[in-house]
Amino acid sequence: MRSMYFTQAIDDALAPAMSDDPRIILYGEDVPMLRRNLLVRFGPRRVRGTPISESAFLGMGVAAAMSGLRPVVEVYMVDFLGVCMDALLNHAAKVEAFSGGKWRAPLVVRAPCGGGYGDGGQHEQSLWGWLAHIPGMSVLVPSTPADAGGLMLAALQHDGPVVFLEHKLLSETMLEFLGTGGRATVQYDLPAEGVKGAVPAKWEALLLGKAALKRTGDDLTIASLGVSVHRALQAAELLEAEGILAGVLDLRSVSPLDKATLCEQVGWTGRLLVVDEDYEAFGLSGELSAVVLEAGLSCKYARVCTQTTIPYARKLEDEALPNRERICEAARRLVM
């Protein structure tokens, strides 16, 4: 079994796909340096750097995708999509509907997301709920190297726009770039299974919108994604010692959402705890409650999310982002 780091796995899955399909090109800010291993294999025509002109290059990606290419456009952080949201909101996500289903934009937007390394509230957001809110957008948030590679392939094969989010605590390259910077003096709470793990000998695309049940438990279902999946798994271990059996469901994809598996699990346990690093209000956590209610399930519900602008100070940041203690507390209240 091969073992890989998180970002290494994504790039490793990209390489054979690029080799098979000359329509796939990569570009974005600093991409020649960030994807240098792909640059020396596929050359500077297909692996390109862009200026800090997000509106132009993301919009370019939409029309390039509409006209025959399969672009993977990188934005430095998901926060910076704020600069160029029009390309996704009003164009990539709309073309299929506007063309009466005749024209689609098979674009992959790859962006680091998430916090936990002290970079402040403009560089540590999750924003997947905000993106998935738009009809026509797919939004993927892998939590392990194997899922990351498999979902990147799924994104490449999908005929519509996909935002592929890469959590910075999982990405060895982004954390090195933005966090440690070569220092041994800083520590981050890194989930080992997310940072490095077994990957298949040959990459195959995962199904879009298929959740993974990471742990079974009869008392409650914790639904989560990204780094929070690992926090939830650690919390579930602590809870088990107290006699509370928590199942953990890794959604992996915000849109499409695996409603069937969610409802199946919650139908069984009767309790749903959503652990979502994204903002609490008007987002994924509330959406999951709507999904189970619409399915006619009656369940107890709680959520552990980010409620405020993410603080810069590490201690405040730890308290603001979902952590094990908050998850355990919420779970205890649910089973009381």
Partner 1 sequence: MTLELASLYALMLKSRLFEVAVASLWQEGLISGEMHLGTGEEAIIAGVVSQLQEGDALALDHRGTAALLMRGIDPLLILRELLGKPDGLCGGMGGHMHLFSKEHLAASSGIVGAEGPAALGFALSAQFLRPRGIAAAFFGDGAMNQGMLMESLSLAAAWKLPVLFVCKDDGWAITTQSRELTGGDLSERARAFGLSVSDVDGRDVQAVWQAAQAAIERARTGEGPSFLHANCVHFEGHFLGYQLIRAVRHPLTEMPRIAIPLTQSFLHPGGAALQERLAGLRAIIAALLATLRNPRRDPAYDPLRRARAALDIEPADLQALEDGVEEEINRLLESALVEAPL
Cβ distance to partner 1 smaller for residue 29 or 264: 29
Give the integer Cα–Cα distance in Å for 202 and 17: 11
Asked if omega into 256 is within 30° of 0 (cis), the reply is: yes
Burial letters 171-199, b for 16+ CB under 10 A, else e: bbbbbebbbeeeeeeeeeebbeebbbbeb
Instruction: Provide the minimum distance between the beta carbon of 311 and partner 1 in the complex, in angstroms, as a whole number.
Output: 5
Establish if 67 lies at the interface with partner 1 (CB under 8 A).
Answer: no
Q: Does 33 bind partner 1 (CB under 8 A)?
A: yes
Contact present, 285 and 262 (Cβ < 8 Å): no
By CB under 8 A, name the one of 97, 98, 186, 307 that touches partner 1. 186
- Residues between 264 and 323 with contacts to partner 1, criterion CB under 8 A: 309, 311-316
Q: Kindly indicate which of the ranges 13-21, 105-113, 195-203, 295-303 contains the residues binding partner 1, using the contact rule CB under 8 A.
A: 13-21
Are the CB atoms for 149 and 203 separated by under 8 Å? yes
To partner 1, the closest distance from the beta carbon of 60 in angstroms equals 13
Paired tokens of 165: 């989010």
Q: What beta strand segments (E) does the chain contain? A: 2-5, 24-29, 47-50, 70-74, 108-113, 138-140, 162-167, 196-199, 212-215, 220-224, 246-250, 253-255, 271-279, 300-306
Rounded least distance, CB 47 to partner 1, Å: 7
The encoded tokens of residue 176 equal 């090195």
What's the token pair of residue 7? 């970002």
Q: Is 239 helix (H, G, I), strand (E, B) or coil?
A: helix
- In the set 16, 90, 198, 237, which binds partner 1 (CB under 8 A)? 16
CB-wise, 186 or 293, nearer to partner 1?
Answer: 186
Q: Is 177 in the site for partner 1 (CB under 8 A)?
A: yes
Among 2, 3, 82, 294, binds partner 1 (CB under 8 A): 82
Rule CB under 8 A: choose which of 120, 267, 270, 286 binds partner 1.
Answer: 120
Among 6, 13, 88, 117, binds partner 1 (CB under 8 A): 117
Sheet holding 271-279, edge to edge: 212-215, 246-250, 220-224, 271-279, 300-306
Residue placing its CB nearer to partner 1 in the complex, 168 or 303? 168
Instruction: Decide if 131 contacts 137 (C-beta within 8 A).
Output: yes
Q: Binding pattern to partner 1, positions 45-64, x when CB under 8 A?
A: xxx-xxxxxxxx--------
Closest listed residue to residue 133, CA positions, set 302, 254, 229: 254
Give CA–CA dist 195/145, Å, rounded. Answer: 7
Q: Which of 40, 97, 198, 260 binds partner 1 (CB under 8 A)?
A: 40
Residues 214-243 touching partner 1, rule: CB under 8 A, are none
Using the rule CB under 8 A, is 101 a contact of partner 1?
no
Q: Which stretch binds partner 1 (CB under 8 A): 114-122, 147-155, 192-200, 297-305?
A: 114-122
Question: Which residue numbers are catalytic?
Answer: 123
Instruction: Indicate the residue type of 186.
Output: V
Select from 24-32, 144-152, 235-243, 323-331 the region that touches partner 1 (CB under 8 A).
Answer: 24-32
**Binding-site size, partner 1 (CB under 8 A):** 57
User: Which listed range, 60-68, 179-187, 211-219, 232-240, lies at the site for partner 1 (CB under 8 A)?
Assistant: 179-187
Interaction site with partner 1 (CB under 8 A): 15-16, 18-19, 29-30, 32-33, 36-47, 49-56, 79-80, 82-83, 117-123, 176-183, 185-187, 309, 311-316
